[in-house]
Structures are given as structure tokens and as C-alpha cells.
Chain A
Amino acid sequence: MSGAVPKIRVRGLRKAFGDKVVLDGVDLDIMPGTSMVVIGGSGTGKSVLLKCILGLLDPDEGTIEIDGKDLLAMDSAARAATRAKIGMLFQNGALFDSISVWENVSFALLAQHRVTRGGARAKAGEVLGQVGLSPSVGDLSPSELSGGMQKRVGLARAIAAQPEILFFDEPTTGLDPIMGAVIDGLIVDCVKRLGSTALAITHDMASATRIGDRAAMLYNGRIVWTGPAGELLGSGNEVVDQFTHGRRDGPIKMELRR
């Protein structure tokens, strides 16, 4: 295993906004076909890490390799080609509200000219079925959907182009526990069916253990623990233990202002 090239390798990643250092030397390896979950408190930089890997933010220092190629050293065309391998489920769905659900789902296929509009319509119906929605939902506008349905449509859009890598940003935020479990189940199914490598960020422990093969804890801008996701609740690391058990006292000090 040690000789294999990670699908995603992050080394010494640093990102600051003004004086505030958010990522302070993040190292992370995600092996092909693995589901990695990064946990951490609100504002610890989980989304920033994801956006740096996606190329939506430029890090100040460090390297990000996908399939062994340095993303930051690529020209814009190569970076776009690499980005096309990635599907992303955004925290709030980020569905385009000016177009219908089926156009949202097949957006990447149409953008990459891989299908005609007729073919895209049929493909959207098929993918909506994979996330437990009726093809007739495709004719609705995103604003007509409930929160859970929007997440499913967001997931359908992320997997429609059959990406090699899938990112999930807080996939269960804003959902009730049952719908959260349903979405997690769909995520696991989709990742297995596509054989993709997945990276999810969350602070929902139940979701983390359901989605992840492996887990990492981001704290103070660094990864302070990595291990099997099943060991999250008994990691032996005092930072992880405080976080996963939701204890007030411990090494993590919440900044409260009155």
C-alpha cells in the first residue's frame, strides 16, 4: 500500500486570510477508491481545504497532487481537465435556480458536449432514479423541492458525469436524522457503484462513520489525527475524543464573546 500513488495528496498546505491563518501546513493522503472524512469544528477550515483542492481558492503554500500531478503547477487547461474528474455536492445544494432540475443534473454532460439535449434529458431521468427520485422531478424548478430533495438532486448532479473523485461538503447539514441517514446511504451507494475516491467534510459524527472508510481531524489548521472512521469514537486522541463526544472541557477551546 505504501508504494501506491494516492489519488489525492496534500502536502504543507497553508492558507491565510489577512492575519487569520486557516490552514497551517495540512498533510493528507487519500488512496484510490477510499472514502475519507475530514471532521472539525465550525470555522476550522474544512471548506477552505476542499476549495483549495478544487482550485476555487489558491493556497499560499504547499502542494496538491491528483493522480501524482501537481494541480498548482498546471496551466488553466490542464487544471480544468483535472477538475472535470471531480464531482461536488455543495452544503446547500447550490442548484441553479434559473434552470430546471433535469438541466441541473445533466449540466456537466452538456457543458462537456458529451450528450445532446435529448440525451441529457434521458440521462438526467436515469440518474435521478439512482438517487431515489422520479424522472418527473426533472421538470420541476429547484425552488419547488424540499431540502432533502435538493440534496438528492445535488448528489445526482455530482455523479451524473461519473467522476473519478467525489467531494461532499457537509452533506447532512439542515436535514432531519432520518433524511440524513438516507442521503448518507445514497452517497455510499454512489461511491461504491462508481468506484470513486471520496472526500467528505462534516461535523456530524453519525454521518462521518456512515460515509467514511478513513477519517481525519482538522484542528488549528493541521490534521491532528487520521485513522479508520470506525475508530473515531475511541481514537485515544484527546482532541478527537473531545470533539466526537461533544465535551465542553478539553484541549479545544471555543472562542466565545459576550
Chain B
Amino acid sequence: MTSPLDLLAALGRGAIRLCRAIGDITLFGLTGLLDIVRPPFYWRLFVRALMEIGYYSLPVVALTALFTGMVLALQSSTGLSRFSAETAMPTLVVLSITRELGPVLAGLMVSGRVGAAMAAEIGTMRVTDQIDALTTLSTDPMRYLVAPRLLAGIIALPLLVVIADILGVFGGFFVATIKLGFGPSTYITTTLTNMQTQDVVSGLTKAAVFGFLISLMGCYHGYNSRGGAQGVGAATTLAVVSASVLILAFDYLLSELFFVR
């Protein structure tokens, strides 16, 4: 029979573990950020990470954005028609894509593709002593493995989101003009008139934060993985799950920051 005190103790242990994990991750992230500005910085590894996060994620992010824009146009058109407000559809598409769906969906896609790969690569290095080997070869593993990936995440995701924004709006434009009978010039004019700089800037800021979070979770869980193949597998799962949850949580926080007065 479990007593209330046992339950309370278990709850307390969970809370302490959570606080410790938050503290660990915060320190890890701050150290990684500091190492971006403290020499030596490994540019070769930065470019490799930039290609991995940005260039190789382009197809999946582009397709996601394109179809999301198309579905958004279709759904909003049928929904808005109930209020005879179909003309608001281009505005709804562009605001949804630039403010929310572009950065969030790109973040989730990159998290699944890149965050998992980062955790697996660094985790394998940990369990095969490669990280210890770095230390013995006069190389700080944080500067070599973490700092280039953090910077690459911060830079690559906004670039991906710019492309996602354009393709998302194009997806809406395509469905609206081909299927729903919108005039192309009307659609473009409405989109450009109602889109503000802040909509794009907020989306790109979110993207930079999400890029940082994806790299941070991939690196942190990989760096701290233990126990062979099973540990690396667990680190990979944790990296994707934690990055996805953090993306959604920070999306809300940043939306509050940008749009709630």
C-alpha cells in the first residue's frame, strides 16, 4: 500500500530531477553560446552543420510549407464563406504562414530530421570514447561539437523559414487562383497590403530561437548519452521530443511577446 508520504516523496524527487535538468540544459546552452564568441571557432564544422541543417532540410521544409499553404487556402475559403468573408482568405494565409505555421512546421520538421541525427552522432561519439579522445587531443569538445551546431541552427532555420514563407504563400495563391476562382493580381495585392514587417520579423525571430533549441537539444542529449546503443537511441528520442515540446512552448511565449500589448 502506497502511503501519501511516498507519493509526496516521489513527486518531490521528480520536481528536483526536473529542476536539475533545466539547470543543466541552461548551463550547457550558455556555455555553448559563449564558445561561439570565444576562439577557436571551428568554421569548417560550422559550414558542415549549416549544410546539414539548412540545405539538406530544404526539400522536406519546402514540401511541408507548400502543402500547408494549399490546405490553408482550401480550408479557410470554405470556412470564411459561411460569413461571406472569402476575400479575407489571402490575408489569413499570409499571416498564418509568416507568423505561425512557417516557423513552427519548419522547426518540427528540422527537429525530426536534424535534431535526431545530431543526438545520434554526438551520442555515438560519447559511447565510443571519441569525446574523451577530443579532450586528450587538446580540443574542447564543447567548442568543437556544440558551438558550431548552435550557431548553424540559429542561422539556418530563419533562412529555411524565408523559403517556407514564400512557398506557403505560393501554395495558397495556387489553390486560390486555380481552384477557387481568385484573380492572381487581387490575391497578390491583398497579400502584400495586409502583410506587415512585424509579421515576417516575428516569424524569423521565432525560427532563430527554434533553430537554437533544436541544436541545443540534439547536442545536449547526445553529449550526455550513456550505455551504448540503447543510450544513443534514448538520446535521439529525447532530443526530438524535447525539441518539439520546447518549440511549441516557446512559440506561445514569443507570440505573447510580439503580439500581446
Residues of A within 8 A of B (CB): 51, 54-56, 80, 83-84, 86-88, 90-92, 94-98, 107-108, 111-112, 157
Q: Chain B, 106-122, contact with A by CB distance < 8 Å: what is the 0/1 string?
A: 00000000000000010
Of B121, B130, B138, B139, the residue contacting A94 (CB under 8 A) is B130
Point out the residues of chain B lying under 8 angstroms from A108, CB to CB.
137-138
Complex formed: what's the CA distance from A218 to B128 in Å?
24
Q: A51-B132, A56-B135, A83-B136 are in contact. List 15 more A-B contacts (CB 8 A).
A: A54-B135, A80-B138, A87-B136, A88-B133, A94-B132, A95-B130, A95-B133, A96-B125, A96-B133, A98-B121, A111-B137, A111-B138, A111-B139, A112-B138, A157-B137
Can you show 26 pairs from A to B with CB atoms below 8 A apart?
A: A51-B132, A54-B132, A55-B135, A56-B132, A56-B136, A83-B135, A83-B136, A83-B138, A84-B138, A86-B136, A87-B136, A88-B133, A88-B136, A90-B132, A92-B128, A94-B128, A94-B133, A95-B130, A95-B133, A96-B130, A96-B133, A97-B130, A107-B139, A111-B137, A111-B138, A112-B138
Q: Are A54 and B138 in contact (CB under 8 A)?
A: no
Taking the closest CB of chain B, its distance from the CB of A199, in whole angstroms, is 13
Tell me, rounded to whole Å, the shortest Cβ–Cβ distance linking B148 to chain A: 12
Are A91 and B137 closer than 8 Å at their CB atoms? no
Residues of B128-168 at the interface with A, using a CB-CB cut-off of 8 Å, are 128-130, 132-139
A residues less than 8 Å from B132 (CB atoms) = 51, 54, 56, 90, 94
- Chain B residues within 8 Å of A112, by CB: 138
Q: Looking at chain B, what size class is its interface with the partner chain?
A: 10 to 19
A129–B132 Cα distance when bound, in Å, is 26
CA distance A90 to B128 in the complex (A): 9
- Across the interface, B136 reaches (CB within 8 A) one of A54, A91, A98, namely A54
Expressed in whole angstroms, the Cα–Cα distance for A87 and B125 within the complex equals 19
A56 to B137 Cα, complex, angstroms: 12
B129 touches A94 (CB 8 A): yes
| A90: B residues at CB distance < 8 A | 129, 132-133
Give A56 to B135 CA distance when docked, in angstroms.
Answer: 8
Instruction: Tell me the minimal C-beta distance from A26 to chain B in angstroms.
Output: 20
A56–B126 alpha-carbon span in the complex (Å): 13
The CA of A98 and the CA of B128, in the complex, are separated in Å by 13
Q: Which residue of A lies closest to B144 (CB)?
A: A111
Top 5 nearest A-B pairs (CB, nearest first) are A94-B129, A94-B133, A108-B137, A88-B136, A111-B139
Complex Cα distance, B139 from A111, in Å, reads 6
Nearest CB in chain B to that of A80: its residue: B138
Set of chain B residues within 8 Å of A83, measured between Cβ atoms: 135-136, 138
Q: Which residue of A lies closest to B129 (CB)?
A: A94
In the complex, chain A residues whose CB is within 8 Å of the CB of B125: 96
Q: How far is the CA of A96 from the CA of B136 in the complex (A)?
A: 13
Complex CA distance for A80 and B141, rounded to whole angstroms: 13
| A91 and B129 contacting across the interface, CB-CB below 8 Å | yes
Min C-beta distance of A161 to chain B, whole Å: 8
Residues of A within 8 A of B138 (CB): 80, 83-84, 108, 111-112
List the A side residues contacting B121 at CB < 8 Å: 98
A92/B137 in contact, CB under 8 A: no
Question: Which residues of chain B have C-beta atoms less than 8 A from A55's C-beta?
Answer: 135
Cβ contact within 8 Å between B136 and A92: no
A91→B138 CA distance, assembly (Å) = 19
Query: Across the interface, which residues of A come within 8 angstroms of B134, CB to CB?
Result: 96
Query: Which residue of chain B is the closest to A107 with respect to CB atoms?
Result: B137
Residues of B within 8 A of A88 (CB): 133, 136
A51 to B133, CA, bound (A): 11
Which positions 33-90 of chain B face chain A at CB distance < 8 Å?
none
Nearest-CB residue, chain A, relative to B135:
A56
B241 to nearest A CB, angstroms?
25
**Closest beta carbon of chain B to A205's beta carbon, Å:** 24
Tell me the complex Cα distance, A200–B166, Å. 60
What residues of A have a CB within 8 angstroms of the CB of B139 in the complex? 107, 111
A101 CA to B242 CA, complexed, in Å: 35
Which of B135, B137, B139 neighbours the largest number of chain A CB atoms within 10 Å of its CB? B137
- B48 and chain A: residue at smallest CB distance: A98
The CB with the most chain A CB atoms within 10 A, among B129, B134, B136, B138, is that of B136
Distance of A51 Cα from B136 Cα, bound (Å) = 10
Q: Taking CB as reference atom, which chain B residue is nearest A57?
A: B132
A97 vs B136: C-alpha distance when bound (angstroms): 17
A51 cross-chain contacts in B, Cβ below 8 A: 132
Output the nearest chain B residue to A56 by Cβ-Cβ distance.
B132
